[in-house]
Amino acid sequence: MSNRVSDILFQLIQTLEKSEKRHFKLYIKRSSSKEDLRIVQLFDAIDSMKDYDEKVLLKKLAPITKTQLYNLKSHLYKELLASLRLLKSTENIDLQLSEHLDYARLLYNKGLKQQSLKILEKAKELARANQKINALAQVTSLEKKIEILHITRSTPAKTSELAAESSAVSGHIDRVTKLSNLTLLLYQWFVMHGHSRNTEDEKDIRAFFKSNLPDLNDINFFYEYLYLYQSYCWYAFIRQDFLLYYRYSQKWVDLFKASPHMIAIETGHYIKGMHTLLNAHFDLRNYKAFDETLREFKAFAVTNEASRHDNFRTHTSIYINSARINGHLMKGSFEEGLQLVQEIESKLEEYAMYVDRHRILVFNYKIAMLYFGAGQYERSIDYLMRIINGPVDLRIDLQSYARLLHMMAHYELGNFDIMDSLIKSVYRFMSKMKNLNVVEEEIFRFVKHSFAVSPRQLQPELEKLLQKIKHLEKNRHQTRSFAYMDIISWLESKVHHRSMSSIIREKYLNSRKHRI
């Protein structure tokens, strides 16, 4: 890991905007103590660095010792967070609610109970308006504490109302916790394994999902529906039920459209929802809806909401670029898609400290697919090797299909001298990882058999393989293969002696005609 992403203070300073740096200087100089002036020097020294280097830093700040530097860095980190909290409190509902609660506790500790209750009432109104039920629980908890310990002259009706409200909030939090846990665990399963590999996987996922789903009759409020729809999305996506996946990704986005003010409050969830909807359109080859949703997402990307935080800017950029590649993959415009690669890799480098390894893995596979579809097999192999040579601790499905695509790229290049060992290696890996279905078995059988036949005899073998595989396209237990690579279009290109790009492009154009 480079120094650019290894030091947490350096990371934080690198993310600061000009206005945030200016505010910090004004904020810290108010105290003007000797130590505060020293952390300003430390801030300026780190801010001027391209990469973090502690030796250089110690020279710049001489004669401080390494221990003193550590203490200064800790102090600077805390002061930066305090400055950011002060600056950003007005634009973040959670920070505003936290501030109200802090003020209410301070007033209560001073014995000013009525003033504390007034602040809590304001906090309660803000939490209700923005459906921040977790904050509402903290507000009602402090409110109950004051009512229980002190005579506040509250009416019996007010006391009963507070008790009922507390019970309702508790029930809501319980449902949100169950649903968000379900979403998280399903997502974790997918990151580790990808789509369900067999009927046993599907049986386990279905049992897990049903046992952790709360009573749907009790579902209410924005966040309960949000996590419910997310849970269904992951459940459907893992099982490759792409129609159900589409329905719930659309419900996810429509939830925000029904409450548009929530887009500014839960921007991250909205961005993820748009990404999920785009993936659903891609999986179902909903070409027109895909283009419309992508246009809508690009328009959102230039709004204040999308630009407000580094997380939002980063993920909007990543998801839009992922969708742009998907658009070229499903329309067969591989050469055009390859023109995006340099720009996308530049963005990934720019956002290096924000992008997780899983996202890089996916981009490497998608770019490899573009090169394969364009017939540039050596470049495809370069990107596949980034996956193959990396750790095998997540997305076992992509790890498996990267190896299969790598084998097919060498087959296309005519590297027959290494094919025998490649076939054995890839087959062994996919078998061990339980990623072998009928489609993969047929591909291995064909590739191995093709060495023993003449080019003239190969044509009927290709046609036979195409017929064997094509009828499996609608079989949900075999769709893993078609989700990761368009094996049918590849075979059709071989049978009809045309480019894979032209085959996919023709399907896309025919689909548009039928939908007009």
Q: State the Cα–Cα distance between residues 250 and 439, nearest whole angstrom.
A: 31
List the alpha helices (DSSP H) in 259-309: 261-265, 267-284, 287-301, 304-307
Region 160-182 average pLDDT: 87
Tens of pLDDT, residue by residue over 450-484, are 877 777 888 898 998 898 888 777 766 666 677 78
Tens of pLDDT, residue by residue over 231-244, are 999 999 999 899 99
| Residue at 128: amino acid letter | R
For residue 230, give Cα distances in angstroms to 49, 277, 489. Answer: 41, 11, 32
Is the pLDDT assigned to residue 393 strictly greater than 90? no
Q: State the Cα–Cα distance between residues 384 and 381, nearest whole angstrom.
A: 5
Is the pLDDT assigned to residue 1 strictly greater than 60? no
Centre a 10 Å sphere on the Cβ of residue 386 and count the other Cβ atoms it contains: 16
Percent of the chain with pLDDT over 70: 94
Tens of pLDDT, residue by residue over 478-514, are 666 777 888 899 999 999 999 999 999 999 998 776 5
What's the distance, CA 431 to chain centroid? 29
Region 301-313 average pLDDT: 88
Is the pLDDT assigned to residue 370 strictly greater than 70? yes
Locate tokens 């200087």: which residue? 25
Q: State the Cα–Cα distance between residues 344 and 321, nearest whole angstrom.
A: 7
Which pLDDT belongs to residue 202? 85
Asked whether the beta carbons of 505 and 378 are under 8 A apart, the reply is no
Is the pLDDT assigned to residue 63 strictly greater than 90? no
Q: For the chain, what is the mean pLDDT?
A: 88
DSSP 436-466: --HHHHHHHHHHHHHTTS-HHHHHHHHHHHH
Locate tokens 């930066």: which residue? 80
- Tokens found for residue 297: 């997402």
Which pLDDT belongs to residue 369? 96
Nearest one of 236, 327, 238, 229 to 278, comparing CA atoms: 327
Cβ contacts of 391 within 8 Å, gap of 6 or more: none
Cβ contacts of 455 within 8 Å, gap of 6 or more: none
Q: How confident is the model at residue 32 (pLDDT cuts 50, 70, 90)?
A: low
Identify the structural domains of the chain with CATH numbers, from first to last. 3-90 (no CATH), 92-154 (no CATH), 176-514 (1.25.40.10)
Higher-scoring residue by pLDDT: 348, 272? 272
Locate tokens 């078609």: which residue? 482
Which pLDDT belongs to residue 4? 47
Region 433-443 average pLDDT: 84
- CB burial of 19-28 (b: ≥16 within 10 Å; e: otherwise) equals eeeebbeebb
Percent of the chain with pLDDT over 90: 50
Is the pLDDT assigned to residue 387 strictly greater than 70? yes
Higher-scoring residue by pLDDT: 344, 481? 344
- CB burial of 147-184 (b: ≥16 within 10 Å; e: otherwise) equals beeeeeeeeeeeeeeeeebbeebeebbebbebbbebbe
Please state which of the ranges 15-29, 50-64, 425-439, 502-516 shows the lowest mean pLDDT: 502-516
Which pLDDT belongs to residue 516? 40
Which pLDDT belongs to residue 216? 85
